[in-house]
Amino acid sequence: MSVIVTGATGHLGRFVIDGLLEKVMADQITAVVRSEEKAADFAARGLKTWIADYNIPETFDGLFSADDKVLLISSNELTKDRGGQHKGVLDAAKAAGVAFFAYTSGLGTVTAAIADGDRRTEAAIIESGLPYTLLRNGWYNENYTEQLAPVLQYNTVTQAAGDGHVASAARADYAAAAVAVLTGEGHENKTYELSGNTAWSFAEYAAELSRQTGKEIVYNAVSVEAYTDILTGQAGLPEPLAAIFADVEASIEQGELASTGGVLSRLIGRPTTPIADSIAAALKV
């Protein structure tokens, strides 16, 4: 068996590679990357590497063969046509007739525009006729714990999600699910809705930050419009990207990221990582 992972130098991709190395010989893993420099550590560990870019479809020509299992990690270029970016990977995999094709998608409950590229990609994968698994990843703990600097500076968690809840898990949890699917049996033509075991609100998040830091940190619930202004003003994000993030806040308020179905925990054979643990890890850094 040969396993090919795209986006291998990203945060999620590196966790996937680490997990695969516990179950698959290094020379049976190909890490698809955009630059040799970022993948130097992979080569040093005995992995094969392939230079390719989602924006240049022809760079995937010749990568795949019939016995490959493929993990397409979704593009993080949120303001681009992500469905179009993924098409080059899928077309090359289909032409080679790969044995299995997995994709890190987003939760099926999410109606925000961020899900549009995932839905297009999912439809194309199903239409391709390849054996597939759709890994519909929920929100990552790190989406918040990696952004603690302004929270700790102002002692305020500012979001536009109202009383909405997030059933998040750590990136490593979602990566473990991908590894389980790539190295296990019986996952063909299935869709997994993946989320954390516990859903938390931003008021609870602020309270946990207060407990761990000893500071009084409050939750400031603002409107979507105000949140967008903060992202474009204080944070300096481009308006299209700020609009995407603000749209997700509306989805959270509507409960679209709150489901705790337990599928992720069952796939990885352990409880998912609580937000409190990810906060503790981030504060140590």
Compute the CA torsion angle 16, 22, 24, 25 (nearest 10 deg): 120
Q: Is the pLDDT of residue 258 over 90?
A: yes
Quick one: average pLDDT of 65-75? 97
What are the distances in angstroms from CA 23 to CA 2, 182, 218, 278?
12, 10, 44, 26
Amino acid at residue number 203:
A
Three-state secondary structure call for residue 55? coil
Please report where in the chains the tokens 């609100």 appear, as a residue: 201
For residue 194, give both structure tokens.
């993946």
Reduce the DSSP state of residue 81 to 3 states and report it.
Answer: coil
pLDDT band at 38 (very low <50, low <70, confident <90, very high): confident
Q: In this predicted structure, what is the pLDDT of residue 285?
A: 87
Cβ count within 10 A of residue 190: 13
pLDDT at 31 exceeding the cut of 80: yes
pLDDT digits (tens, 9 = 90+) for 89-131: 999 999 999 999 999 999 999 999 999 999 999 999 999 999 9
Instruction: Kindly list the domain boundaries of the chain, sorted by start residue.
Output: 2-137+171-194+259-272
- What six digits make up the tokens of 36? 């040799």
CB 64 within 8 A of CB 70: yes
Rounded to an integer, the average pLDDT of 137-162 is 97
- 118: which 2 tokens? 């995932």
pLDDT of the residue at 235: 85
User: pLDDT class for 1, splitting at 50, 70, 90?
Assistant: confident
Give tens-digit pLDDT for 153-171: 999 999 999 999 999 999 9
Domain 2-137+171-194+259-272, what architecture?
3-Layer(aba) Sandwich (3.40)
Phi/psi of residue 256, each to 5°?
-80, -10
- Whether the pTM exceeds 0.95: the reply is yes
